[in-house]
Amino acid sequence: MFELLTHFILPLIKLLYIPCDLLLGWTLFLGPLGALIAIGAVTGLLVNLFQKFCSNQVLLGQRKADLDKLKLLQKDAKQAGDESKNVRLRGLIGRISTKYAMESMKPALWSVPPMCVVAMWAGERMSFQPVRPGEVVEVVAHFEDGASGFTHILPNEGIAADSPAISAIEIPKKAETTKSPDKESPAGNVVQVPANKAAPAPAEKAPEAPAGPQAHWRVRAEKEGNYALRVRHGEDQYELALPVYKSGGHPPEKAVVYRMESPTRDKMLALELKLQDTVQPAWWNLTMQWMGVYLLSSIAFGVGLRRVMGIQ
C-alpha cells in the first residue's frame, strides 16, 4: 500500500495540480482571504456551467413548470376537500419530482471530479502562509525511539540558521504541552522526498510530539528563490523543499515523511515545518479555517450565479 501511495497516487495528484497552477495561480497574489474567495467564486461558476451545459435545461424547465401547475391544482383540491384527487396529484408530483432530481444530478458525474481536484489544490496552496524573505521558520525532525546523539543542518544558499546548526536529539521536556502537528495540517499536505538508504513514504499526518525524540532548529529565509533545507543524521541526508516568495506564491510542504520504521529503530522519520495558518478558526468561517471560507464562498457564488444564469 505504501508503494502504491508513494509511486502512483501522490505523483498523480501532483500532476493534476499543474493545470490548476496555470489557470488559478493568479489568485495567490490576492492574499489569503481574497484567494480563497476567488477560488470559491470560480468553483461556483464551474458548477453552474456544468449544470447548464451538461443537462437538458429545456426538459428541466418543462418539468419545473409542470410541478408548479400540479401544486396549484393540489392546493385547489385540498381547499375543495377532494381527497381522491389530492392523492392522485400527490403521486404524480412525486414521480415528476424524482425525474427532475435525477436529471438535475447528471451534471454531478462531470463536475464532482474536477471540483475535488480544485478543492485539494486550494488546501495544498492556501492552508498555510507562504514563507517571505527575512521570515524565521521552526523546523522539527522526528526520530525513532532508539535515536540519540546529534543531527545538523547543512549550509545552503538562501537559508541561514537562526539557531545553532547542530541540535541534540532528545524527547521534548514538555511533550504534553507541545502542539501536535496533525492538528495543524491537512492530510493532503505531505510529500515524498528521497533520502539515502531510506525510501520515503507518505503518511496522512505527521508524527505527534510525544511519540519519540526530536531535534529543533530555527532557520531564516535570506532571499526569494526555491531552496532545499538539508539535514544530516548519521550517514543519511534528508531534504525538504523551502520556496521563498516576496509576493504571491504558495507555502512549502508542511511535512515530509521518509519512513514509518527502520530495522535499527534509530533513524529519522520525518521533517516538519511550523507554518502560519492563513485563516484562524472563528465563527465566521465555521471554525474550519481556510476550508470554511472556501465552502461558504462556493455556496454563496453558486446559489447567486444559478439565478443570474437562469439555470433550471
Cβ burial, residue 147 (10 Å; 0-12/13-18/19+): buried
pLDDT digits (tens, 9 = 90+) for 39-83: 999 999 988 888 888 888 888 888 888 888 988 988 888 888 888
Cβ burial, residue 58 (10 Å; 0-12/13-18/19+): exposed
119 and 201 in a common domain = no
Of 205 and 186, the one with more pLDDT:
205
What sign does the dihedral 201-117-137-135 (CA atoms) show? positive
Is residue 228 within 8 A of residue 167, CB to CB? The reply is: no
* DSSP-derived secondary structure letter, 135: -
Number of domains in the chain: 3
242 and 193 in a common domain = yes
pLDDT digits (tens, 9 = 90+) for 123-153: 999 999 999 999 999 999 999 999 999 999 9
Q: How confident is the model at residue 1 (pLDDT cuts 50, 70, 90)?
A: low
Q: What is residue 229's predicted lDDT score, i.e. its pLDDT?
A: 93
Distance CA 117, CA 127 (A): 15
Mean of the per-residue pLDDT values for the chain? 84
Q: What is residue 221's predicted lDDT score, i.e. its pLDDT?
A: 94
Rounded to two decimals, what is the model's pTM? 0.73
266 and 234 in a common domain = yes
Distance CA 301, CA 243 (A): 32
Q: Where is average pLDDT lowest: 17-21, 155-159, 205-209, 262-266?
A: 205-209
197 and 67 in a common domain = no
Evaluate if residue 89 carries a pLDDT over 70: yes
Residue 65: which domain range?
Answer: 57-105
151 and 267 in a common domain = yes
